[in-house]
Every structure is written in structure tokens, then in C-alpha cells.
Amino acid sequence: MKKSNVYSIPALKRLPAYLRELKRLQAEGQLRVASPALARALHIDTIIARKDMEMLGVVGSPGVGFRVEELIDGIETFLGWKNSSEAFLVGTGDFGRALLGYSGFAAYGVRIVAAFDPDPVEEGLEIHGVPVFGLSHFAHYTGRLGIHIGILCVPDDDAQKTAELMVDSGILAIWNFTAHTLQLPEHIIRQRVNLGGDLAVLSVKLAEKLRERKENP
């Protein structure tokens, strides 16, 4: 698996979109697809689509393109989604609940197998079919089930200490939905969704645009 060490982040981010398009083609009974068609579906350049396929190590036939099934398999293998990754979520407020109810993750090979909350949790509680436990059980279950992915949805002020608990429990990758920048050991993989930060960028750009309009109507 030497190939999978060579990748670009933008290319990785495109893989789910390819997968979605390929599954659509498969559902329509299409067996083969060429790079230009994939490129069109993703609104990208054909050259980029070709490079992405190269990264996957899937080889097409000149003139007839790639086998749809082989490409799907290639992407899922590349992403390690053949064996669905299991994750724990911490924090069952508005946003955590939403993620538990979000059916989209299944399509991306990630399954949230349990949720935890710092507040007391009534015995047998489930949200969208996912069992919820008190945070004091986190370390125990992480070790027992060999979970590596933690999804962090606690209030911002609890983010750092909860992330530290995750790391101490054996979590290797944290998907951080809080506004807090985590200070963690270098080797921990982090991915962040900073909704407040996104809104800040959107607001400032919009204000600028509205000002321009006023000045040059």
C-alpha cells in the first residue's frame, strides 16, 4: 500500500463527491465512466480528475474509461471505509444530537456507536438509536471497543479538558465542533469545524460587498 502515502488534502476532500456520483451511475446501471464525465459532475477540470484517479491507483482503459465498480472499490479502500470506522461522540446538546441524527455519515463509512455526556445521563437513554452514557464511562468503552475517533461537541469552555480525556483514553483522531483551538500532543489527528469562524468570514465579506454596492450603485 505504498500509493496511499501520496495524497493531497484537496484531492481527499473530493473523494466523497466522486463516490456519490459513482454510486449514482451504478444505480443507473452504468458500468463504465471516463474522466471527463466525472470532471463535469464535480465541476472540476478533467486534468484534476485524471490526477485524482492516478492517486487512487485505479487504471482505466483508453477510450472506454474506468469500471464504475472498480473506482468505487478503489475510493473506499483508499479511505479505509471498507471497514466502517467507529466513533464516539461527546456532548449531546443541540449540535451533538444533530450529528447523531445525521444519516449522512453512514455514506462516508463512519458509524457513531455511542455518545457520552458530562451531565448525568438516565440509564438506557438513546438518541436516534445511539446509546448515551455518562462521560465517566468514556475511557472504559474506548479501550474495550478499540475506538480511535472522537467527535467533540461539548460547550466551548469544556473543549480542552474533554479532548484531554479523549486522548488519555486512547483516541487518536478528534473531530472538533467547538470554537476552541485544542492544545494536544502533536501526534493527535485533528479536524475542525469552526462554525463561528465561518460566520465571521461570511459576515465581513458580506458587509464589504454591501458597502461596495452603496458606493457604486
One character per residue 54-83, x = contact with its own copies (rule: CB under 8 A): ------------------------xxxx--
93: annotated binding-site residue? Answer: yes
- Taking CB under 8 A as the criterion, the residue among 30, 61, 136, 191 binding its own copies is 191
Residue 216 binding its own copies, by CB under 8 A: no
- CA neighbor of 18 nearest in space, from 3, 1, 39: 39
Query: Which of 141-152 are b and which e, b meaning 16 or more Cβ less than 10 Å from the residue's Cβ?
Result: bbeeeebebbbb
Stretch that binds its own copies, among 6-14, 45-53, 66-74, 135-143 (CB under 8 A): 6-14
Least separation in angstroms between CB 142 and its own copies: 14
Among 30, 51, 69, 101, binds its own copies (CB under 8 A): 101
Task: Give CA–CA dist 48/54, Å, rounded.
Answer: 10
6: contact with its own copies by CB under 8 A: no
**Treating both helix axes as pointing N-terminal to C-terminal, what angle do 9-27 and 35-42 enclose, rounded to 10 degrees?**
110
Per rule CB under 8 A, count of chain residues that contact its own copies: 68
List, in sequence order, the alpha helices (H) in the chain.
9-27, 35-42, 46-56, 68-78, 94-101, 104-107, 138-145, 159-169, 195-215
Cell numbers standing for residue 1: 500500500
Residues 134-153 that bind its own copies (CB under 8 A): 148-149
Q: Which amino acid is at 204?
A: V
Please select the residue that binds its own copies; options are 26, 46, 169, 194, rule is CB under 8 A: 194
Rounded Cα distance between 52 and 18, Å, is 10
Q: Which residues pair with 132 in a beta bridge?
A: 115
Interface characters, 7-46, with its own copies (x: CB under 8 A): x-x--xxxxxx--x---x-----------------xxx--
| CA–CA–CA angle 135, 189, 182 (5° rounding) | 60
Q: Which of 34, 39, 125, 173 binds its own copies (CB under 8 A)?
A: 173
Binding site residues, its own copies, CB under 8 A: 1, 4-5, 7, 9, 12-17, 20, 24, 42-44, 78-81, 85, 94-95, 97-99, 101-105, 107-110, 148-149, 156-157, 172-173, 175, 179-181, 183, 187, 189, 191, 193-211
